Structure 1
Amino acid sequence: MPTITDVSRKAGVSRSTVSRLIAGSGYVSESARKAVEAAIAELGYRPNTMARGLRSNRSNLIGGVVVNVGSPFYAQMIGGIQLTCRSANKSFLVSSGYADPDQEARAILELIDRSCDGLILYLENPLGEDVLAVIEQSGIPVVSIGGDECPAARAAIAIDNFSGARDGMEFLLRAGHRNIAYLSGGLVYRDMRERLRGTADALARHGLTIDDILVIHGNFEERFGAEATATLLVEHPGITAIFGGDDDISAGALLSLKRAGKRVPEDISLLGFDDNFHARHLTPALTTVRQPVDEAGRLAARLLLSLLDGEAPTAREFSIPTELIIRDSVGPAPASLSG
């Protein structure tokens, strides 16, 4: 493997000149720069990032924990974080916490052990005192997304799930729907609890309660949406609208509705949440609540990079609004079934 000495010899310049060019610090003449770049390309030299990190006391690694890296929802968030980190010449290392307190703690400790310069955490459970003590001892900055399960976080970013669900349910109610099924992603998730609060708020504005609609708990999977909807059509044939806890659930619901010969939205309206990439490509295109998770990721990365540069954030708490995206899957309640 070629070394920095090999590059300096090939380019006919000193080791310090090569080091300055690689580190981007100090003056290097144009002729020397071209000679070094040509030597690096010819030799296939790669800088030793670990050694550079030791000299600068930085690893240039940002660590992240999300619920599940395999989810399209978190993939968008990870994409926003990674693009922002890359623009600052930082690498991003991410792990799943699976909404489990032990797995979340393990992921955080592993990232700290890998000498990450800072952490971006999307957690579902409050951290234990032992993990908080390790974070404090490490001295690395932390930015959280979602809730505020990490008191050590210097900045916390929340997405307004409450208002998003309230606006979605309000849209269904204004369309005349009263026989509504809500397919929940499960109360273990903070976002889901906030969406149910928003749903209840919209119902209260119309003199209704959460008990006036049908709530079915499951998970954030297409399979749950399909199976729950198939059961709904048999056991609750008067349902005129389904509000999916996320777009994956709604995609499964749409599949079952089509299999049963139900027209969307003429027979049953369908509403989603998240505005994942496939929402607009369904037939009919899915009306949904957009949750800008990529922007949350970019903001978290920007805040963490500023903290690493010694700049305090303008506030500790930031909120990102949701947006109702109206497409083709919601229509007026059928007159004979709206109740």
Structure 2
Amino acid sequence: MATIDDVSKRAGVSRSTVSRVVADNGYVSEEKRRAIQQAIAELGYRPNTLAQALRSNRSNMIGAVVVDVGTPYFANMVYGLQRSMRRAGKALMVSSGYADQDEEARAIIELVDRSCDGIVLYLERPLRQDVVEIIRAARIPVVMIGRQGCEVARGSVQLDNFGGARAAMDFLLDQGHRRIVHLSGQADFGDTAARLKGIAAALSARGLGMGDIRIVSGEFSQEFGYAATLALIEEGHDFTAIFAGDDDMAAGVLLALRHAGRAVPGDVSVIGFDDTFHAQHLWPPLTTIRQPVDEIGEAAANLLLKLLAEPGSAMLETVIGTSLVVRDSVGPAQQRRKEREGNVTAVAG
């Protein structure tokens, strides 16, 4: 295996000059830099990252804990994280917390034990106090996505869940819908609470309240969307629109309506939240609220990199906006009534 001495001899420069090029730290003339890079390529030299970490007291490893890295939503967020970290020459180690306090704690402790320089967290549960003390003792910066008020976080990335949910409800109300069902996520999740507040604000602006719509709480999953929709139909609940808490729920809603013989949007309008990859490929294509998930990950990475570069920085905060994506799953509330009235008139004639 080639060593740094082999590279210095091949390039005709000192070891320290090779080290500056490898670490990208300090001035090296362009001529010498090209010679070193050529020698590295020819010899297949790979720097000893462990030794570099010991000398610099930096591992160049960044940790991240998300709810479930196996889902498209969080995989896309990790993609954004990695994109920024790669540009900064950092490696990324990711673990899942599965919205369970003990699993989240275990994942964080493992990342601290592996000497990560900093950690990005997307958690659904409050940090255990022992984990708070472990992070403090490690003296590493933490950036939190979503949850606010974390005592060890020095950076925060928030999605405008309030504004997104308000825009979705406004759109349904603008279409004349009043018999609306909202399929909500877990009540103790921060995203859920913020979206409910956005819905309440949209209703209040029209002189309505939360009691004027039906709210059904469950999990952010296709299975819940399907089961909840069938249950509403079986109980005879009268509704013209469903605002699903995320696109996975919405996929289940569309499937249940199809199985029940309800047309979308002719009988029931459906709107989701997230704009995941499959939203545009559902039938009909799903109207939804887009959140740029990869940008959330990238923003969190950038805040963490800033905290590493400027340890004395004050609390850093970023809010990521949402936008309404109109496709084919929402129509006017009057459409179904007019069609039925037309049918009655035709029969009478």
User: Which residue is equivalent to 2:251?
Assistant: 251
Residue 98 of structure 1 pairs with residue 98 of structure 2: yes
Residue 52 of structure 2 corresponds to which residue in structure 1?
Answer: 52
Work out whether residues 181 and 213 of structure 1, in 8 Å CA contact, stay in contact via their aligned partners in 2. yes
CA distance in 1, matches of 2:33, 2:317: 44
Alpha-carbon distance change, 202 to 31 in structure 1, aligned in 2, over 3 angstroms? closer
Other-structure match for 1:137:
137
3-state SS of the aligned residue for 1:206? coil
Please say if residues 124 and 189 of structure 2, whose CA atoms lie closer than 8 Å, have aligned partners that are also in contact. yes
CA distance in 2, matches of 1:56, 1:186: 44
* Letter of the structure 1 residue corresponding to residue 227 of structure 2: E
1:301 is aligned to 2:336: no
| 1:207 Cα deviation after fit | 3.6
Give the CA deviation at 1:117. 0.9
| Paired AA for residue 145 in structure 1 | I
Cα distance in structure 1, aligned partners of 2:14 and 2:313 = 41
1:316 to 1:42, Cα distance in 2 relative to 1, 3 A? closer
Structure 1: distance between partners of 2:97 and 2:161: 21
How far apart are 1:177 and its partner, in Å?
Answer: 1.3
What's 1:329 paired with?
Answer: 329
What displacement does 1:268 show?
0.9
Deviations, residues 60-91 of structure 1 (Å, cap 9, x unaligned)? 11111111111222222211111111111111
| Equivalences, count | 338
Q: Give me the whole-angstrom Cα distance separating, in 1, the residues matched to 2:45 and 2:246.
A: 47
Secondary structure of 1:286 counterpart: coil
Equivalent residue for 1:194? 194
**Per the alignment, in what secondary structure is the counterpart of residue 285 of structure 2?**
coil
Paired residues for 1:1-339 under 5 Å: 1-28=1-28, 32-236=32-236, 238-310=238-310, 316-334=316-334
Mapped to 1, the partners of 2:295 and 2:30 lie a distance apart of 39
Does the residue aligned with 2:319 lie in a helix, a strand or coil? Answer: strand
* CA distance in structure 2 between the partners assigned to 1:130 and 1:261 by the alignment: 53
Post-superposition offset of 1:11: 4.5
Q: Distance in 2 between matches of 1:313 and 1:275?
A: 34
Residue type of the alignment partner of 1:114? R
Shift of residue 27, structure 1, vs aligned partner: 4.7
Letter of the aligned partner of 1:22 in structure 2?
Answer: V
- CA RMSD across the alignment: 2.3
Q: Distance in 1 between matches of 2:20 and 2:307?
A: 25
Return the alpha-carbon distance in structure 2 between the equivalents of residues 114 and 195 of structure 1: 36
Unaligned runs of 5+ in 1: none
Q: Which whole-Å CA distance do the structure 1 matches of 2:261 and 2:21 have between them?
A: 66
- What secondary structure is seen at the aligned counterpart in 2 of 1:278? helix
Q: What is the SS of the residue equivalent to 1:62?
A: strand
Q: Distance in 1 between matches of 2:291 and 2:112?
A: 30
SS of the equivalent of 2:273 reads strand
Do the aligned partners of 2:62 and 2:117 also contact (CA within 8 Å) in 1? yes
Conservation of the 8 A alpha-carbon contact between 1:280 and 1:286: yes
**Structure 2 residues not aligned, in runs of 5+:** 339-349
> Does structure 2 conserve the Cα–Cα contact (< 8 Å) formed by 1:264 and 1:284?
yes
Describe the shift of the 1:312–1:266 C-alpha distance in structure 2 as closer, same or farther (beyond 3 A). Answer: farther
In 1, Cα distance between the equivalents of 2:54 and 2:196?
48
C-alpha displacement of 1:237:
5.6
Shift of 1:274: 0.9
Distance 2:42 2:335 in 1: 75
Cα deviation for residue 336 of structure 1 reads: 6.3
Deviation at 1:137, TM superposition (A): 1.4
**Aligned residue identity for 2:123:** L
Normalising by structure 2, report the TM-score: 0.88
Counterpart of 1:286, as a letter, is L
Question: CA, structure 1 residues 119+230, in 2 after alignment: closer, same or farther (shift >3 Å)?
Answer: same
Preserved contact between residue 222 and residue 250 of structure 2 (Cα < 8 Å): yes
TM-score normalised by the chain length of structure 1: 0.90
Question: What is the DSSP-based 3-state SS (H/G/I as helix, E as strand, rest coil) of the residue aligned with 1:137?
Answer: helix
Deviation of 1:54 after TM superposition, in Å, equals: 1.1
The equivalent of 2:346 in structure 1 is none
The verdict on how the C-alpha distance between 1:215 and 1:26 changes in structure 2, with shifts beyond 3 A counting, is closer
Report percent identity of matched pairs. 56
Secondary structure of the equivalent of 2:272? strand
SS in 1 for 2:324: strand
Higher mean C-alpha displacement, 111-120 vs 227-236: 227-236
Deviations 1:110-155 (A, max 9, x none): 1111111111111222223222122111111111111224212112
